[in-house]
């Protein structure tokens, strides 16, 4: 059966995703849609002219929402990109309006597709897409902390001098400055990270001590550093999104930290956040819940945005989480409730 993916947004992220999918043959057919049709045509032409050199043929072209009909997956990257000095939250209201405009147009032609939201702030936009579309929850996935998780594993691999493939650790919560690393579940191969140094013997007898604060800072600040140095981030997020597509097209379910709607998990409802999800051909089919100690919880208001005339407030819920080797950690959960309501 032929597979088809539509990428909405022909900017740096969208075009890189389309390019990578064509090289890897993630799908048989790739459609690029953008409000700037000339830009979409140029990106599609550039990619298409290289496809004779790829291992398998792939059809890449620019189109409209109508051209997306029959897509298995729709990837939304449209919106105002993050600039140096900006946080992802600075983009909220503008990109909420973009999602509100796109959603009814694309779902009209792709009611059965699985949707991957990539635009920032991704957790808020994933939430908005839920609210303005009739797509089932399991078929709306935000790229979430999948990229943060990759950055974490890359940094740990550098510390430990092992392959990233042998590092198993996740980032939870918001894709942004308030994400959280549950260190107690991090592993190197099958060995708990916090026990790894005590169990391994090196010929040199030297193993760098893990600087947890530095690793967390590296993971959270990487995006801003890349934007400052080259103006945008797009390679690693493109790899992350292609990984989600591979999960959706795969014959076996995979585990990934992606943003999905929470429905009572950890006592939080009506919020999109990244937890460990089982992702397969039906979408984000279920969540794997790890024990968190919510004995201490504080909720504070951070920001707000409007949706269909209603004002929504963005809250952070702080959960005290104890982990071996760490005094405590804080997981800040992005909660969205109508402004004026109690949290």
CA angle 43, 44, 49 (to 5 degrees): 105
The catalytic residue among 130, 137, 175, 328 is 175
Beta strand pairing call for 114-117 and 140-142: parallel
Residue 134 to residue 206: CA distance in whole angstroms? 56
CB 248 within 8 A of CB 267: no
175 has catalytic annotation: yes
CA distances from 12 to 41, 208, 231, 332 (A): 14, 37, 10, 29
Local structure of residue 289 (DSSP, 8 states): P
CA distance 74 to 18: 12
Find, among 112, 141, 113, the residue nearest to 254 by Cα. Answer: 141
Helix (H) or strand (E) holding 43: helix 37-48
Using omega within 30 degrees of 0 as the cis cutoff, is the peptide bond preceding 157 cis?
no
* Secondary structure (3-state) at 71: coil
Other C-beta atoms lying within 10 Å of the C-beta of residue 251: 6
- Per DSSP, 240 falls in state H
Q: Which helix (H) or strand (E) holds 299?
A: strand 297-307
Q: For residues 133 and 102, what is the distance between their CA atoms, to the nearest angstrom?
A: 10
The CA distances from residue 213 to 111, 210, 220, 224, 331, in Å, are 44, 9, 11, 17, 15
In the beta sheet, which residues pair with residue 299? Answer: 317
How is residue 189 written in tokens?
Answer: 């191969």
Are the C-beta atoms of 33 and 67 separated by less than 8 Å?
yes
- Annotated catalytic sites, by residue? 175
């Amino acid at each position: 059966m032929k597979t088809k993916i539509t990428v909405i947004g022909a900017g740096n992220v969208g075009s890189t995703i389309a390019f990578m999918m064509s090289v890897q043959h993630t799908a048989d057919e790739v459609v690029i849609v953008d409000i700037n049709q000339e830009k979409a045509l140029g990106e599609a032409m550039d990619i298409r002219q290289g496809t004779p050199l790829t291992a398998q043929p792939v059809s890449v072209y620019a189109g409209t929402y109508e051209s997306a009909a029959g897509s298995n997956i729709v990837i939304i990257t449209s919106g105002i990109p993050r600039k140096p000095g900006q946080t992802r939250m600075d983009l909220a209201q503008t990109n909420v309006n973009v999602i509100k405009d796109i959603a009814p147009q694309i779902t009209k032609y792709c009611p059965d597709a699985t949707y991957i939201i990539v635009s920032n702030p991704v957790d808020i936009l994933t939430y908005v897409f839920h609210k303005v579309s009739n797509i089932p929850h399991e078929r709306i996935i935000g790229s979430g902390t999948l990229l943060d998780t990759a950055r974490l594993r890359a940094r740990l691999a550098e510390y430990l001098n092992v392959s990233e493939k042998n590092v198993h650790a996740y980032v939870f919560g918001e894709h942004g400055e308030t994400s959280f690393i549950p260190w107690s579940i991090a592993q190197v191969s099958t060995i708990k990270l916090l026990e790894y140094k005590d169990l391994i013997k090196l010929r040199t007898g030297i193993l760098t001590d893990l600087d947890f604060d530095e690793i967390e800072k590296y993971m959270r600040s990487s995006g801003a550093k890349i934007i400052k140095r080259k103006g945008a981030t797009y390679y690693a997020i493109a790899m992350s999104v292609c990984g989600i597509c591979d999960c959706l097209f795969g014959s076996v379910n995979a585990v990934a930290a992606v943003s999905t709607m929470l429905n009572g998990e950890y006592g939080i409802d009506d919020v999109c956040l990244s937890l460990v999800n089982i992702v397969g051909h039906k979408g984000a089919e279920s969540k794997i819940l790890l024990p968190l100690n919510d004995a201490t919880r504080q909720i504070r208001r951070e920001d707000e945005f409007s949706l269909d005339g209603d004002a929504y407030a963005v809250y952070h819920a702080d959960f005290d989480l104890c982990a071996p080797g760490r005094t405590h950690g804080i997981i800040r959960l992005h909660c969205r409730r109508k402004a004026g309501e109690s949290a």
